[in-house]
Amino acid sequence: MRVAFVAESFLPHMNGVTGSVLQAVRHLTANGHEALVVAPGGPGARADAQTTLLPSVPLPAYPQVRIALGRTGALAGILRDYRPDVVHLASPFVLGWRAVAAADALGLPTVAVYQTDVIAYARKYGLPRATAFTAAHVARLHRRATLTLAPSSSALHQLHELGVDRTRLWGRGVDTERFRPDRRSEAWRSWIAPGEIIVGYVGRLAPEKQVEDLAVIADMPGVRLVIVGDGPARPRLERALPRAVFLGHLGGAELAQALAGFDVFVHPGESETFGQTIQEAHASGVPVVATGRGGPVDLVHSSVDGWLYRPGDLDDLRDRVRDLVGDATKRQAFGAAARAAVEGRTWPAMIDRLHEHYLEAQRLHAVDRAPRSARPLRRVQAAPAIADVPAEAVTAPREWSRIVALGDSLTEGLCDTSRMPEGQYRGWADRLATLLAQRSPAVVRYANLAVRSRRVADLVAEQLPRALALRPDLATVFIGANDLVSHRADPARVAAQVDDAVAALRRAGSDVLLVTPFLPDRRASALFARRFAVFADHVRDIAARHGAFLLDLENDHEIGERAKWAHDKVHLSSSGHRFVSYRAADVLGLPDIEALGALEAVLHADQDRPVTGLWLTRDALPWVWRRMRGRTAGDAVTAKHIDYIDIPAGGSPERSKAPHS
């Protein structure tokens, strides 16, 4: 394959865009492909057989960044002579706009890699008119590209908000050979900060990076702040942080030694679409404290390999750093987990995925150029990230190796006590994961993020970010009942939140199983029946728009049978959970699942633990008392499987011996 890289910036200016282009060119050519880089020229830049440089001018406030000159026709001539199979637009904006226009004229597929949040940068620099123009320009450019790759779930969401369709998740690799824990040098540490804990930052020194926020930790006793990097904000930062050590720009072995020499890595920028230096710190075995916004949300697993602090809350930043500074054992444990988390995210693996995206772009481009009558509709107004999903892909049985369940008490498994220790519950989602593992040739990884009493807003705020970080290939979403039984419930508003959650999961590449909430067959259910029916209609529409699997239990009269409901009259019994799990497996296309379910029902009956006391005092009055006090049963409850557990092929779950990676 011949790939033309059109890069908004390139050597000698080293940044995330330049680094990812260099890695892509290196690994593609090593695998027998051909590559050409077209980029702005400037002082120190060198053209060669693989690099074509264009005339450029420096950005006034940041002369290291150069803006390419020249017309679209000149770029089209370069592409015409090279005859690429695909055009890779690296963080496109100015030169990228000309490139996508030139590729259109030549009939070439384009893959645009969204890497720099220029909208946030314009906002950070206080340019409201420029911010509006930038947002509109980014939207037009990426909608025009054949396929857009985003590095994180937050970037996918931002593109979706701009109306960009055909988005896919593609992160960045990390050089696990260069960045390793054994690069740590006690001699270097003694030279930089003898006898002190080193808290370090690596990155560009510019206003959007918010390095000045690190002032809250610069005066911590026994701590030395070390800053690696350069940029227009360096003089101001040196004045603001007089105790910090500024090492300037480092690369290669020097950078690897510095990162491994840190005790804690800090990342304050809220405008990052990814956070490559976070990966490099993790590869170096260093725990990370980062803002809980943007790309870091996908990279840092709080309480596992670092901490995410509340965006803008500098007291929280200080507390998180203090927690690690004061606990060497925790730093060591977090560092080991950090290294394990990046082992599978090498550059060769990521470039293999990039090549798959190139092939997909070629297929999509062929569809776009077909006669209009032969083209499938692009569902731009729905879940643009999964446009053009063939109908058979939604119904065909397949294997899933990473499954995440989201929802409330029904998905948590409340009241399903069959064959479970005291105080623990099983649930339909756990049972479904086991069924899928029984049909899988390999281990299935499973997480259950559901918590009792949760509403849709809680799922979006708490469970969805974690689910996206886990990168499941199947997510189950069963939520809404707690919203619908509340005072003045609005089914349409609740459904809109579910729509956003499903869209985010689909944009991230996950299959989704949606479940319609349902009611028991009791007289009291009539109070809420209309709300549930209206909401179920919305859920059916959401599933159709996003190409999701749909388990429509609101229309299944069997689920209302009293035997399927528990002693508290609002949760399912063990037999009810088993019923839902088999219905779900059937929807997902597992063969002979109905016969298997009937056989299991004959061979054993699910036995719930007996309960004592009257329903009124045991279940109803405690619920009313919590409501009166503004509390819920789930206030002090956390998800039972916040990270993956392993379910071996054949079914019996056991906890994974290592954190999710």
Same domain flag for 442 and 585: yes
Which residue's structure tokens are 């965006």? 311
Same domain flag for 491 and 637: yes
Same domain flag for 190 and 161: no
Contact by Cβ (8 Å): 371, 338: no
170-179 pLDDT per residue, tens = 988 999 999 9
| Three-state secondary structure readout of 483-508 | HHCCCCCCHHHHHHHHHHHHHHHHHC
Higher-confidence residue of 205 and 607: namely 205
CATH number at residue 488: 3.40.50.1110
Task: State the Cα–Cα distance between residues 127 and 21, nearest whole angstrom.
Answer: 30
Question: How many domains, in total, are found in the chain?
Answer: 3
Residue 88: name the closest of 72, 74, 100, 104 by CA. Answer: 100
Categorize the per-residue pLDDT at 125 as very low, low, confident or very high, splitting at 50, 70 and 90: low
Q: Helices 252-261 and 276-283: crossing angle, nearest 10°?
A: 70
Contact by Cβ (8 Å): 360, 509: no
> Please, what is the average pLDDT of the chain?
84
Strands 223-228 and 245-248: parallel
Backbone angles phi, psi at 327, to 5 degrees: -140, 95
Q: For residue 338, what pLDDT is reported?
A: 95
Structure tokens at 300: 């840092």
CA trace torsion 518, 520, 523, 526 (10° rounding): 0
Mean pLDDT over 323-347 rounds to: 93
* pLDDT of residue 593 exceeding 60: no
Residue 564: name the closest of 521, 610, 513 by CA. Answer: 521
* pLDDT of residue 387 exceeding 80: no
Residue 482: name the closest of 562, 567, 408, 427 by CA. Answer: 408
Contact by Cβ (8 Å): 87, 14: no
Q: Is residue 454 part of a domain?
A: yes
Q: Is residue 369 part of a domain?
A: no
Percent of the residues in the chain that have a pLDDT greater than 70, as a whole number:
84
Q: For residue 613, what pLDDT is reported?
A: 56
Q: Is residue 391 part of a domain?
A: no
Higher-confidence residue of 376 and 300: namely 300
Contact by Cβ (8 Å): 324, 289: yes
Q: Helices 491-507 and 153-161: crossing angle, nearest 10°?
A: 120
479-532 pLDDT per residue, tens = 999 899 887 788 999 999 999 999 999 999 999 999 999 888 777 677 788 888
* pLDDT of residue 597 exceeding 90: no
- Which helix or strand (DSSP H or E) is residue 63 part of? strand 62-68
- Examine the fold and report which residue of 322, 342, 362 is the final residue of a domain before the chain moves on: 342
Mean pLDDT over 307-311 rounds to: 94
Determine the 3-state secondary structure of 171 from DSSP.
coil
Task: State the Cα–Cα distance between residues 351 and 25, nearest whole angstrom.
Answer: 9
Task: State the Cα–Cα distance between residues 401 and 565, nearest whole angstrom.
Answer: 31
Determine the 3-state secondary structure of 410 from DSSP.
helix
Same domain flag for 185 and 316: yes
Which residue's structure tokens are 């960009």? 164
Q: Is residue 35 part of a domain?
A: yes
Q: For residue 631, what pLDDT is reported?
A: 63
Higher-confidence residue of 84 and 651: namely 84
- Give how far Cα 373 sits from Cα of 206, 313, 370, 380, 547, Å: 50, 54, 8, 18, 22
Structure tokens at 39: 């980029």
Q: Is residue 352 part of a domain?
A: no
Residue type at position 76: A
Residue type at position 82: Y
- Which residue range(s) make up the domain with 10? 2-169
Determine the 3-state secondary structure of 618 from DSSP.
helix
Burial of 467 (0-12, 13-18, 19+ CB in 10 A): buried
- Examine the fold and report which residue of 169, 201, 223 is the final residue of a domain before the chain moves on: 169
* pLDDT of residue 624 exceeding 80: no
Structure tokens at 14: 């080293």
Mean pLDDT over 465-479 rounds to: 96
Residue 245: name the closest of 298, 189, 290, 283 by CA. Answer: 189
Same domain flag for 210 and 165: no
391 Cβ contact partners less than 8 Å away, ≥ 6 residues apart: none
Mean pLDDT over 229-237 rounds to: 92
Q: For residue 473, what pLDDT is reported?
A: 94
Same domain flag for 489 and 628: yes
Same domain flag for 152 and 122: yes
Q: Which of 57-71, 292-306, 596-610 has the lowest mean pLDDT?
A: 596-610
Contact by Cβ (8 Å): 320, 291: no
CATH number at residue 287: 3.40.50.2000
Q: Is residue 6 part of a domain?
A: yes
Same domain flag for 146 and 229: no
Task: State the Cα–Cα distance between residues 101 and 85, nearest whole angstrom.
Answer: 16
Residue type at position 363: R
- Give how far Cα 501 sits from Cα of 457, 460, 507, 641, Å: 10, 6, 10, 20
Same domain flag for 74 and 160: yes
- Examine the fold and report which residue of 315, 342, 369 is the final residue of a domain before the chain moves on: 342
Task: State the Cα–Cα distance between residues 644 and 569, nearest whole angstrom.
Answer: 31
Same domain flag for 164 and 192: no
Backbone angles phi, psi at 40, to 5 degrees: -65, 140
Q: Which of 248-262, 377-391, 485-499 has the lowest mean pLDDT?
A: 377-391
Residue type at position 277: T
Neighbour order of strands in the sheet with 86-90: 51-54, 34-40, 2-7, 86-90, 110-113, 147-150, 167-169
Task: State the Cα–Cα distance between residues 431 and 111, nearest whole angstrom.
Answer: 40
Structure tokens at 479: 């939520």
Same domain flag for 213 and 138: no
Same domain flag for 185 and 37: no
Whether cis (ω within 30° of 0) applies to the bond prior to 441 is no
Q: For residue 21, what pLDDT is reported?
A: 95
Q: Is residue 617 part of a domain?
A: yes
Residue type at position 461: A
- Give how far Cα 148 sits from Cα of 111, 211, 570, 584, 616, Å: 6, 30, 45, 32, 56
Q: Helices 347-368 and 16-30: crossing angle, nearest 10°?
A: 90
Residue 515: name the closest of 592, 427, 575, 386 by CA. Answer: 427
Q: Is residue 463 part of a domain?
A: yes
Mean pLDDT over 332-355 rounds to: 92
Number of neighbours of residue 89 by Cβ within 10 angstroms: 29
Categorize the per-residue pLDDT at 661 as very low, low, confident or very high, splitting at 50, 70 and 90: very low
Contact by Cβ (8 Å): 377, 537: no
